[in-house]
Structure 1
Amino acid sequence: MGPEGKTLLNIIILGFGFMFMFTAFQTCGNIEQTVIKSFNSTEFHGSGYTSMAIIYGVFSASNLIAPSVVAVIGPQLSMFFSGLVYSGYIAMFIHPYTWSFYTASVVVGIAAAILWTAQGNLLTINSTDATIGRNSGIFWALLQFSLFFGNMYIYFAWHGHVHISDEDRQTVFISLTVISLVGSFLFFLIQKPDPEATPSEASESLLQTESTERASIVKALQLSVTKEMLLLSISIAYTGLELTFYSGVYGTCIGAMTQFGEDAKSLIGLSGIFIGLGEILGGGVFGMLNKCNRFGRNPVVLLGLITHFVAFYLIFLNIASDAPIAPEEGTHLQAYITPSVEVALLCSFLLGLGDSCFNTQLLSIVGFMFREDNGLPGVTWCACLPQSITAALAFFYSNYLLLHWQLLIMVVVGFLGTLSFLVAEWVVVSSRRDTDYDSI
């Protein structure tokens, strides 16, 4: 197998590993607030929203140390051990205690920073300028199959269940734990790319020296304050807000709608499936479009904004305002139209499609801008930090804010984030043209 074939296989294995891991973890995040409301124990006082806020808050802080960990033990082992921590968090739901719930949340936040730093490192050292867009799209599409399979299981397992029993919960989380472990062990199949496939000899040699730990942190701090990265940080921050909404809040809203009948709980799984379909379609189509970058990344990002705005408006009309914070028995309020399952699932699809528009283009532009530097694990820190901070904030305020206020926040930040991306893309394209001109 040639160098390009080996690197493509590495990307596919990476995608499948994340697909198994996040089949478990994203399904867990989608249902945990609903599960916790149904958990019959006077000793447990946890909140799924608070847990996810802790995860993303610790994730934000841990991004400072994650490059050092990846530089010392390598991306492969970093992802494996992080995967084991994810599995432990999921297994905790088999019989949760408040102390173990929040302790596991803190540890997963640290593991998440290491996992995604290692992922960004592996993605870029297995890519070239010509293949970074394709590889980003392949990875993103495979990752989003996790939404499809995990939530399909939830839909059939909970069909017709008005209340989630202890047996229901334990069966689901034992299965998800096993699935997560499979993903972790898949990372051992990734092979080291040939030297000619890596971004530069300087990056490769630096990774093999003792100075890597310090260099990666310094480089990450330098890149985080560049003009392009500061512009992109608003777009990245928006992805944190909408990630919170589609991965934790929207499913809880659907499950709380008593007007959807006795299938409301199983509709959480069906909603996740439609989000996954949107993500897979967008990851496949828009990732591949980067190979034919005739019109640039801006049209895809604009499509993502329009798609999300349509989804937000329909959700505003269809879902009751108190649905995110409704008790176990659900909400009896009605929004502005008669609640429709079909409209709710259409919005799920649009949320996934819009999210893939933003994320495929952000992965592409960050990898493109910092091509030579992305062999350093610290570079992923730049992209992770704004998203993790806003995701933590969004999960925190989801405990308190009604639905329409959450939608308004996303509309404002999404609009500003899109404008900043358009400017960043223009700056990147202009600088590349100047570089090409100077080299003539």
Structure 2
Amino acid sequence: MNILCGIDLGTTKVIYMSVCFLFLYTATQTFLNMEKTIITSISDDNEYFEVDGYNILALVYITYGVSLWLGPSAINIIGLRTSMTAAAFLYILFISSVIVEKAWAIYVIAGLEGIAGCLLWTAEGKYLASNSSPEVMSRNVGIFWTFYCSSSIIGNLYSFYILEGKKYLDRGSRNLIIYTLTIIAGVATLLFTLLPPAEKNETEDKKLQKVSPLKELKTTWEVFKTKEMMILAVTFCYTGLHQAFCSGIYSPSIGFTLQFGNRSKQLVPLSGVFLGLGQVIGSCWQIIQGKRLSKLRWGRRIVLTTGIVAQLISFALIYINIPPSAVFGNTTESAIIKSNIFIAIFCSVLLGIGDGCLNTQNFSIIAILFPNEAAQSCALYNFSKSVSVAVGFFLATFFNLYHQLTFLAIMAIFALISYFYADMCTLKKYNDQNNKSTP
């Protein structure tokens, strides 16, 4: 059935869901990118406020990772649309929680935010798989990821305007940003309530395949034990470490580098803008070259290698351009070279390109490997990634920038090797199935 200029109904639904994510993560990505900076500014104004931004983000991803084991069971009970709508509402609470400036409230809601992320992304994976045939899976993943990555650009552009010429983040600017992001997240929640049912009728699936939560958990464990999932876990863990670095560590480090002068805080959202731009470039390139890459035996590996190389180049440039103590807070320390704004923002683009390539190919390979266990495989992917994100934020409180970059570079090499091996297993599996079906 053609809906818009030859686009099938399933893809139309994927686009609508992508718009919902665009609004939700315009608010959320902007907040996460500035969260460490916002928390630090509250501490500067309130001596009794003792909260660490990295610890909050670590708590979010720990609860997110643990919850993912029950994610498939939860969405099987309450449905895809309800899961995403409820999650979006909890995102509103998370963004607005810093207004009260109470440590206990921020930590409690951060834990709820982890559960919200579990519902949202497990449901998203199943909804995407239900509306995509194998032939258009990579394209639809690219479409979704392009919308998702664009969210970083929109919200951070607004913050960039608000923070013009500010060396320190004042209360008025901070609250204005938070109120605006909360409203945008509210719009996203409303859009999720209007999300159409999945292409594979969700109501009929429930009647025909009513599965108990225990059965869902057992299926998730069986997928976890497969050789392919165990191999890919290395790549997934690196994806999480990289996500922690580029979404919550690198941009604040730029803002804490006082060598950049009075524009240092304004560079935090600007970094987020160019990070999102890099993610969009990486995703759009895959959409444009999708047919050509799909015909190549090494298509997925080419994309992933491109992303990893972009990340390694960015790590090297960050190493020489940003002082090692910048991850901890405001610093006047000098880097190996004189800190350069152009290099700092260019690194954000490279990190974004790498992130776009990495995430799309991770989604693509698990959708092909586990087409009948979409919810379980997506939950496990996000579990591995979220635990690593939490580890990344936790380590950021102890290890300086140089140590983190060295560790990330080593993990990037292992991630590339692991993905290559898993992709070889995928091709062999695909060829074996074709040979059996050929008379």
Q: Same fold (TM over 0.5)?
A: yes
CA apart distance, 1:418: 0.6
Runs of 4+ in 1 over 3 A off after TM superposition: 1-4, 203-210, 287-292
Question: Residue 111 of structure 2 is aligned with which of 106, 119, 139?
Answer: 106
- 1:351 matched to which residue of 2? 351
Q: Residues 186-335 of structure 1 correspond to what in structure 2 (within 5 A)? A: 186-195=191-200, 205=205, 208-292=208-292, 293-295=294-296, 296-326=299-329, 330-335=330-335
Tell whether the 8 Å contact from 1:256 to 1:323 is kept in structure 2 after alignment: yes
Q: 1:194 to 1:95 in 2, by over 3 A?
A: closer
Q: Distance in 2 between matches of 1:235 and 1:57?
A: 19
**Structure 1 position 428 matched with structure 2 position 426:** yes
Question: Residue 64 of structure 2 is aligned with which of 49, 59, 62?
Answer: 59
TM-score (norm 1): 0.94
Q: Distance in 1 between matches of 2:210 and 2:302?
A: 43
Secondary structure (helix, strand or coil) at the match of 1:297 reads helix
**In terms of mean alpha carbon deviation, does 60-69 or 73-82 score higher?**
60-69
Tell whether the 8 Å contact from 2:307 to 2:353 is kept in structure 1 after alignment: yes
Tell whether the 8 Å contact from 2:127 to 2:198 is kept in structure 1 after alignment: no
Q: Which amino acid aligns with 1:32?
A: E
Question: Residue 149 of structure 1 is aligned with which of 128, 149, 154?
Answer: 154
**In terms of mean alpha carbon deviation, does 128-137 or 224-233 score higher?**
224-233
CA apart distance, 1:186: 1.3
Q: Which amino acid aligns with 2:391?
A: L
- 1:91 matched to which residue of 2? 96
Q: Distance in 2 between matches of 1:340 and 1:151?
A: 20
Q: 1:294 to 1:2 in 2, by over 3 A?
A: closer
- 2:384 matched to which residue of 1? 386
Secondary structure (helix, strand or coil) at the match of 1:337 reads coil
Q: Distance in 1 between matches of 2:160 and 2:370?
A: 42
Tell whether the 8 Å contact from 2:69 to 2:220 is kept in structure 1 after alignment: no
Amino-acid identity (%): 30
Tell whether the 8 Å contact from 2:23 to 2:188 is kept in structure 1 after alignment: yes
* Offset from partner CA, 1:143-190 (integer Å, 9 cap, x none): 001110011011100011122121111111000001011112212332
For structure 2, the 5+ residue unaligned runs are none
Q: Distance in 2 between matches of 1:216 and 1:207?
A: 16
Tell whether the 8 Å contact from 1:134 to 1:288 is kept in structure 2 after alignment: no
- 2:414 matched to which residue of 1? 416
Q: Which amino acid aligns with 1:57?
A: I
Q: Distance in 2 between matches of 1:360 and 1:60?
A: 20
- 1:120 matched to which residue of 2? 125
Q: Distance in 1 between matches of 2:372 and 2:125?
A: 13
Secondary structure (helix, strand or coil) at the match of 1:94 reads helix
- 2:402 matched to which residue of 1? 404
CA apart distance, 1:212: 4.6
CA apart distance, 1:294: 2.1
Tell whether the 8 Å contact from 1:154 to 1:269 is kept in structure 2 after alignment: yes
Q: Distance in 1 between matches of 2:284 and 2:199?
A: 26
Q: 1:194 to 1:34 in 2, by over 3 A?
A: closer
Question: What is the aligned-residue RMSD (CA, Å)?
Answer: 1.7
CA apart distance, 1:43: 2.9
For structure 1, the 5+ residue unaligned runs are none
* Offset from partner CA, 1:276-315 (integer Å, 9 cap, x none): 1100111121245343312220011111111100000000
Secondary structure (helix, strand or coil) at the match of 1:385 reads helix
Q: Which amino acid aligns with 1:22?
A: Y
Question: Residue 22 of structure 2 is aligned with which of 19, 22, 27?
Answer: 19
CA apart distance, 1:422: 0.3
**Structure 1 position 136 matched with structure 2 position 141:** yes
* Offset from partner CA, 1:212-241 (integer Å, 9 cap, x none): 533322221111111111111111111100
TM-score (norm 2): 0.95
- 2:173 matched to which residue of 1? 168
Q: Which amino acid aligns with 2:324?
A: S
* Offset from partner CA, 1:99-120 (integer Å, 9 cap, x none): 1111111110111111110010
* Offset from partner CA, 1:375-414 (integer Å, 9 cap, x none): xx33322211110111001111111110011111111111
* Offset from partner CA, 1:309-365 (integer Å, 9 cap, x none): 000000000000000002xxx211111111100000000000000111111111111
Secondary structure (helix, strand or coil) at the match of 1:331 reads coil
